[in-house]
A and B are shown apart, each in its own frame.
Chain A
């Protein structure tokens, strides 16, 4: 049986978390529940909705464009998330030194993260645009034919993925750098005394030491990249032939351009479920691996 003092202490502790819980409820829990309710209604932005049950969901799963947007989004996640993890780690390993050059390079690689999506897409449109773009000029110097990245159904999504990687590489790099700097130097010194080669050190010391950060990067990037929107809207408008239309762009078009907020909310619920599943799978797999050690 717990004493009255302990209960009092619990209540006092509760005061500390109340502001967070309030903000969390107002900005996340209530909108989430409201979104779930909206998905069961036929509603627009300017009036009360009408309950229609699962009608929005049945319309949604009969829509080829929506199903295509799911495939596009998964493809984009596959293109970007492993690339963020591998490139972020490679950059962090390369720049994990106390030299002025490494400091400047870290700042340069992180700098793109502070740009807005509008600036990023402007820059990359100039890179990809045929005839006068940077890549077009390089292809011309090499005597190679022009490639229309943004109007090719096969290349549009990889082009958006490259722009996104350039934009967002700073965060995983910094997370990996922070993790690398937590590894005690003595372990590396011991490995050096044992004549361990660089690859062996990486494989047996560095990677196991930062595995939690690795999982964190994968989960964070998964959640972020499932929400691809601005780059696709500004670089390709979801085209050509719906080849680069992600789920969030679909939500935006349905809810704000067609005033079909109920259908937009239903799409958002599906996206939420997808992100949740992807994050949970990674988390569970990582935990199991850890427990089996």
Chain B
């Protein structure tokens, strides 16, 4: 029997509405006590002044393996997750081949087990081959362990297919995760359609491309009664559409990535390909609307949107560089610095969006420190100043515009299943 005592920390567990200073005892793989006396433990970690949080869960990660191992592998991605404070991640299926068969899910789970870092959940393809033509074998994939269905960064464009997916997944109570993007409005776009794109002459991506699809997706969610999760939300219009839908009780949730509340399109002025992401960095009014949406609960989840790209791919001019940035190791720090420090979110709200709610959406028994729950814990030092240094990233890639940024707040210890990983 192995015991770990987390001594004198501020326990914040949104699943039980707890926020108090206490000692937490982990025994083997589970949470044993939230009010442990200072007794003998195999390992005592003094967490005075730090937050004891249910292990953070990132529900939108590109692991790139199989197929794009030059960007990331399952092992390096899982290591980056630990470094960033996450005890669980869910990978989206933009791999080659795409994750649309039990064998491919088994492959990811096997590689993740061998890496032995964080828990890795699989979001499988919603359509066979990610082609957007017919449903993947959703029932079989659920049996193999899939926790959700998505065509990853490719939007499900065919409304009939999305309707069927939202209907069919209800049998298994799994969410459909869709990226709201109308490609006819974005086609060769590089950055947010606004004054900066007008001045720089970079092909624009209008916010309406997101809003139109978000509205369509929500309509289909409402008519089918299915469970829809909007990936990568970034525009004020989408936030407003979501807010109204939620007021009607539609079963839609949504997530945002830290870059979309930390940077505006002004960052593109230096023509840094690391700032080329999709959805694009938007103008300040959109960022403000997204922060308001995070504040009032319209946006449920903060996920990294981790999109590693090997440096040779990003060393191109703006029109040719691929979209994406590595984010696993900066998500917590940016959330703390850009949302908690300025008072937009309390720590309890931030942890809810980084752990409890993603666990609920994916239907995984995580995101809580209830006695008897899995001993997945993230210890956060909320006041720790640190500097982002991409050369020290555990990720294989370093496509990150935050290099050199000074952030406040970092995970200092990460425990997965009762085992110290950081």
Chains A and B belong together in one complex: no
Identify the B interface with A (CB < 8 A).
Answer: none
Identify the A interface with B (CB < 8 A).
Answer: none
